[in-house]
Amino acid sequence: MNAKDIIKKQIKNLEIRSNKLVNEVFAGQYQSVFKGQGIEFAEVREYQIGDDFRAIDRNVSARHGKPFIKLFAEERELTILFLIDVSASQFFSHTKNLKSEIAAEVAAVLAFCALKNNDRVGMMSFTDRIEKIVAPKKGKNNILRIINEILDCHPVGLKTSISLALREINQIWTRRSVVFLISDFCDSGFSRDLRITAKRHDLICIKIEDEREKEIDNIGLVEMIDPETQETMLVDTSYSAANFKIASKNFDEKIDSNLTRSGLDIINLNTQDSYIPPLIKFFRNRQRRKLLG
């Protein structure tokens, strides 16, 4: 079986699993959380006592010499965008599932939820450059193309630039969308762009980690390679093991703090556990907040 046949089999299996999860678990939750979240301009009418004065359309009011307000209607269809990190660190795992494969599975489940609700789905993959853009469209074929682009990815870049991806998505898609940023967030200096994007879009961060990246065994001198910089270094693990674990914990806490301060929803996943419970928890938390207003 050649590489293309393997990818086709992966996509088919992923489609079957995703549809099963959508039908049995996520479809109703997706609809209750996301449908009707977007609004679009409908019409203007004359101001009435009790109307919100902040909705007054100044241009129309000036032309008619009396106040008019803008009326908005809930959008029946949404645009779902996946912002996928495909840098070198995504192709690591000490389990059978790479971080990139987890990203593909989660994107597939969410995309098939969107398909069931007739929403548009698009994707942008990135490293330290924009690797691939799939324009938002309806239909299963577009979703299968997105899954294929994630699984059969051959990025030019190795490093990660979340800021670049966020700035690009803000320039290309100005209409408010639901954006799932899927990454291990092994980057820095993106807090400002994160906040700007969160104001323009409904931004949800999906953080995928591998526990093996957080610790090293005490096995003496080991030659290690950074997958994103390709830098080779000789590490004394007998000295570095404890310090590495502390540094890794501090880095994780800093990233989580940046995301939390931005007021974003965060879905924490790892390669050794099922992504289903964290996704269910996310939907339930969003639904609870929606009910509380």
Q: What is the pLDDT of residues 175-191, one digit of tens each?
A: 889 999 999 998 988 99
**pLDDT tier at 206 (50, 70, 90 boundaries)?**
very high
Q: Note the pLDDT of residue 255.
A: 76
Q: Note the pLDDT of residue 37.
A: 53
Q: Note the pLDDT of residue 269.
A: 94
48, pLDDT greater than 60:
yes
pTM (predicted TM-score): 0.79
How confident is the model over 161-168, as a mean pLDDT? 96
Q: Note the pLDDT of residue 249.
A: 72
110, pLDDT greater than 60:
yes
Q: Which helix (H) or strand (E) holds 260?
A: helix 237-261
107, pLDDT greater than 90:
yes
Helices (H), 56-138: 58-64, 99-116
Q: What is the pLDDT of residues 223-266, one digit of tens each?
A: 666 666 667 766 655 655 566 666 667 777 777 777 777 778 89
Distance CA 57, CA 258 (A): 37
| CATH architecture of the domain formed by 3-35+77-292 | 3-Layer(aba) Sandwich (3.40)
Rg over alpha carbons for the chain, rounded to the nearest Å, is 22
Task: Give the Å distances, CA to CA, from 50 to 16, 58, 62.
Answer: 52, 18, 20
Distance CA 99, CA 269 (A): 9
Q: What DSSP character marks residue 270?
A: E
40, pLDDT greater than 70:
no
How confident is the model over 131-146, as a mean pLDDT? 95
Burial call 208-238: b when 16+ CB within 10 Å, e when fewer: bbbeebeebeeeeeeeeeeebeeeeeebeee
Instruction: Classify strands 79-85 and 68-74 as parallel, antiparallel or unpaired.
Output: unpaired
Q: Domain ranges in the chain? A: 3-35+77-292, 39-74
Q: Note the pLDDT of residue 242.
A: 60
78, pLDDT greater than 90:
no
